[in-house]
Structure 1
Amino acid sequence: MNSPQEEKGQLGLAAVWAIAVGGMVGGGIFSTLGVVISAAGHWAALSFVLGGLVAYATGHSLAALTVDKDEAGGIYTFLRDLKFVRLAKWSAWVLLAGYVLTCAVYAYTFGAYLGHAIGGPGWLPPAMAAVAILSMTAINLRGAGQAAGVEIAIVVLKLAILAALAAFGLSQFDAAKLEIAQQPGLIGVVVGAASVFMAYEGFELLAYDYDEMKDRKKTMSRIMPLAIGSAALIYVLVCLAVPMLTGTQAVIKDGEVALSQAGQAALGTPGLIAVTIAAALSTASAINATLFSSARLAREVAQDGDLPEALGKQNSHGSPQWAVLALAALSLTLAVMGGLDGLVSGASVVFLLVFGTLNALAVKENVGKRWITLPGTVLAFAALAVLLAHFAGLV
């Protein structure tokens, strides 16, 4: 997720693609692989496909709503402008909760990968997670955005590393290695897709950058299948490849650093270092951009009177300082407390709820293609229901 400080109309298709893919792959595959495999077993790749279909429908709805209104803003702005004031307020609160959980996942993953690579005492990973959040908070308080060129470079680097890892693993493909002791069945595919839906979170922040795009209507209409398709493809390939290198049980057991283990299995220490660099760059960039965008959402909501007034105040660098600090403090607390599965699943609940509502809004406003927006609404809310039922022990 990213909101570069660019001049109006300066973001071309490549930069917009990098922002969206960087947001989705910012921590998703590094932190969620073990979660989805433990839920879906040898059907884990299908879980990522199903999640990608829901994400694509939502991206289509978001693009259609944004182009129709021809203004920057996400679901909060759409609902507010349509006079759904109370629902708009709730959507903002839910979104902010989701961004806090997501930021915590990214920081937890940052600490886990660096801690694993460096070695050392048990307190090192949470300490590194705290360092990540504090560093990105300092950058945000100085009002520093991230250049589109830097984001493109980071995305290309991490995709190259993940693609190489996937190619190495798939060259040794053996379907038997995907099996786990207790296969959860096809319902596990839905549980897996719902549990890791936060891996597709990030594309929605393109709506905040709409005014910065070159030929904005055309770019916004074209970008979603390109960006979401790219993320889904790399997720599926990595999901199939990593168990070939370490074994499926190891992915489940060491899920928070599964890709580091795979990199080490493939190329030894150089592989471990390469994957750690990719994970650190991805998660740090995602923390920075999540704080940047979510703090500005909080500022907008505060200026509308639906959050404390202090959250709308800016410092001398133009940063909404109290919003940044509040979001960072909550994220840091959750990251240090740990519990990756809970953080990932909690974030997925939030984004399934928000994205289901976004699809429903596109249906109501009759924008986009109904054969995409309507199934997107049904699938998002169905996945949410399955995930909540899973939490309750019903499935």
Structure 2
Amino acid sequence: MTTQPALARRLGLGDAAAIGLGSMIGAGVFSAFAPAAAASGPWLLMGLVIAAIVALCNATSSAQLAAVHPVAGGAYAYGRAELGAWWGYLAGWSFVIGKIASCAAMALVFAAYAAPAGWERPVAIAVVVLLAGVNLLGVTRTALATKIIVAVVLACLAVAVTAGFAGPASPAAADATGAGPYGVLQAAGLLFFAFAGYARIATMGEEVRDPARTIPRAILLAFALAVAVYALVGTSLLHALGPDGLAASSAPLADAVDAAGWAWAQPVIRVGAAAAALGALLALIAGIGRTTLAMAREADLPPFLSAVHPRTRVPHRAEIAVALVVIGIVAFADLRGVIGFSSFGVLLYYLVANLAAWRQRPSVRRYPRAMQAVGAAGCVVLAATLPWQSVVAGVAVVIIGVAFRGIRLLLERRAAVEEE
């Protein structure tokens, strides 16, 4: 009887933090601010603060859980261990489905900035193949590529933020009227999409050295850096465009550069947007692959996907399967508008994480229980106040997932009875 190869612990603090930061910056900085401004008007930064508070509570819950359960799968594994199999499945299913849609969106965003007209879909497919190949080379290659991408994105954002503050203030930026509490909460739910990247650190828990120490530190470090970046970007966009201009913009950072008269910086913004999408896609494929691996180990997804490559120590079948599904979606659909749907899935994922952290015994507790209560309540409120189309789609996907697992368990019970 052969032993299944295991994932290898090859990531340090810098590697893990870079993967989380690459996911957060790429996922939201070029895509989340405009729809959030449309919902909240001049209260955009209040929505950002609420999103950051909920995300901080979720981050501390994830850190507390990862210190005790340093395994692949993130909240899927935590939910199973602390709450039961159905809770873990809800988290894993929500994460995999929502983030696969995000992968397709990020591939299309990259192609929109980098591909010649008419070649967007072929380029998007090609970049999925390329990044899946990088991940298959090993987790250290994933971390190195992410560090390079994050450095490029931060440099480009520095140019955009400087341009945003250098130009004249938009008159609309001083407007004190706008959306009410519901709009602010909806903006917070959309902006939460931008902070969801630290989940990638937790899903790779079996590949981090000294996980009880490294994972909590990496999660909080990546989160703190992302909050600082988003606060600067959001403030500069409001200064340059105002809430109305930001809400109407399809490329707010590019428009902010134009408003400052920095036409020469337009190529820089395009490079930054393309690199951000690459970083998010690279980390997403890796994170979904690890969650798929964990679910396959428990037969919540086909067990065939639980294999780990004996040389590179990556879940190669799971990552190839994820890439193929993303390629299929990219080939036939345009999912650049899935921010709300992805946010719904991730909020459910973190709801399970907060509940699991709440159930942990006092001897392993690192943070006050009140933070888990705020995190769980925040997830429910933000999910409920997302655009109704996102809520309906998210509920439908959850129902499909529950039905899938319920039918599988029923068939397994019948087979067991027949064998007896």
Match status 1:340 vs 2:347: no
Task: Render the CA deviation track for 1:239-291: whole Å, top value 9, x for unaligned.
Answer: 22124445654533342x32233345546454122122222222113212211
The alpha carbon displacement at 1:218 in A equals: 3.4
Q: Which amino acid aligns with 2:386?
A: L
| Count of aligned pairs | 380
Match status 1:56 vs 2:52: no
Candidates 281, 290, 303, aligned match of 1:287: 281
Match status 1:352 vs 2:347: yes
Conserved 8 A contact 2:73-2:291: no
Distance in 1 (CA, whole Å) between partners of 2:261 and 2:200 is: 36
Residue in 1 that maps onto 2:254: 260
Residue in 1 that maps onto 2:371: 372
Q: Secondary structure at the match of 1:372?
A: helix
Matches within 5 A, 1:1-395: 8=9, 11-12=12-13, 14-69=14-69, 71=71, 73-82=73-82, 84-115=84-115, 120=117, 123-141=118-136, 145-146=140-141, 148-172=143-167, 174=169, 176-178=171-173, 183-210=178-205, 212-213=207-208, 215-246=210-241, 248-255=243-250, 257-266=251-260, 268-313=262-307, 320-335=315-330, 337-341=333-337, 343-366=338-361, 367=365, 368-387=367-386
Conserved 8 A contact 2:73-2:293: no
Distance in 2 (CA, whole Å) between partners of 1:204 and 1:162 is: 23
Q: Which amino acid aligns with 2:225?
A: S
Q: Which amino acid aligns with 1:344?
A: I
Instruction: From the superposition, tell whether residues 352 and 207 of structure 1 become closer, same or farther in structure 2 (CA, over 3 Å).
Output: same
Distance in 1 (CA, whole Å) between partners of 2:84 and 2:327 is: 33
Task: Render the CA deviation track for 1:298-336: whole Å, top value 9, x for unaligned.
Answer: 123223212123333466865545433432243344445
Instruction: From the superposition, tell whether residues 230 and 320 of structure 1 become closer, same or farther in structure 2 (CA, over 3 Å).
Output: closer
Conserved 8 A contact 2:296-2:306: yes
Q: Which amino acid aligns with 1:53?
A: I
Conserved 8 A contact 1:264-1:270: no
Deviates more, 1:170-179 or 1:105-114: 170-179
Conserved 8 A contact 1:58-1:358: yes
Distance in 1 (CA, whole Å) between partners of 2:165 and 2:292 is: 44
Task: Render the CA deviation track for 1:212-231: whole Å, top value 9, x for unaligned.
Answer: 54554333343444321221
Deviates more, 1:104-113 or 1:150-159: 150-159
Unmatched tracts of structure 1, length 5 or more: 1-5
The alpha carbon displacement at 1:142 in A equals: 5.1
Distance in 1 (CA, whole Å) between partners of 2:209 and 2:271 is: 32
Percent of aligned positions that are identical: 23
Distance in 2 (CA, whole Å) between partners of 1:209 and 1:76 is: 12
RMSD: 3.1
Distance in 2 (CA, whole Å) between partners of 1:217 and 1:49 is: 29
Deviates more, 1:358-367 or 1:321-330: 321-330
Distance in 2 (CA, whole Å) between partners of 1:313 and 1:209 is: 15
Q: Which amino acid aligns with 2:371?
A: I
Q: Secondary structure at the match of 1:327?
A: helix
TM-score w.r.t. the length of structure 2 is 0.79
Q: Which has the larger radius of gyration?
A: 2
TM-score w.r.t. the length of structure 1 is 0.84
Instruction: From the superposition, tell whether residues 11 and 377 of structure 1 become closer, same or farther in structure 2 (CA, over 3 Å).
Output: same
Task: Render the CA deviation track for 1:6-32: whole Å, top value 9, x for unaligned.
Answer: 9746513x3333222111112311121
The alpha carbon displacement at 1:186 in A equals: 2.9
Distance in 1 (CA, whole Å) between partners of 2:376 and 2:121 is: 37
Conserved 8 A contact 1:163-1:234: no
Distance in 2 (CA, whole Å) between partners of 1:237 and 1:208 is: 28
Conserved 8 A contact 2:285-2:323: yes
Instruction: From the superposition, tell whether residues 391 and 66 of structure 1 become closer, same or farther in structure 2 (CA, over 3 Å).
Output: closer
The alpha carbon displacement at 1:130 in A equals: 2.6
Instruction: From the superposition, tell whether residues 379 and 173 of structure 1 become closer, same or farther in structure 2 (CA, over 3 Å).
Output: farther
Residue in 1 that maps onto 2:412: none
Conserved 8 A contact 1:31-1:105: no
Distance in 2 (CA, whole Å) between partners of 1:126 and 1:181 is: 42
Distance in 1 (CA, whole Å) between partners of 2:343 and 2:381 is: 13
Q: Secondary structure at the match of 2:31?
A: helix
